[in-house]
Amino acid sequence: MENITIDGDFLDSLGRHEVVMETMITKDSTRLYEGFSTSMLATMLLLLNLKIVHGVNNVFMDEVFFLL
């Protein structure tokens, strides 16, 4: 049986991904504002979907997100 070594950078990246996932889950339970039924995560996904459908560039979306 071959010994398998795991790169430290790989483990570090896994930790960062876990933080990102936990943040996304938190955002999923956070409402955009009181009385609004859609979560922050769902709102961001809807906006990103519009970006793809209409083919707008990242600079435009960055400005939209900054305004929001």
Chain centroid to CA 59: how far? 17
How many domains, in total, are found in the chain?
1
b/e per residue 18-31 (b: at least 16 CB within 10 A): eeeeeeeeeeeeee
Domain extent at residue 41: 8-67
Q: Is the pTM of this model over 0.85?
A: no
Q: Establish if 2 belongs to a structural domain.
A: no
pLDDT tens-digit readout, 6-37: 455 654 555 666 776 677 777 677 777 788 88
Q: Establish if 1 belongs to a structural domain.
A: no
- pLDDT value, residue 33: 78
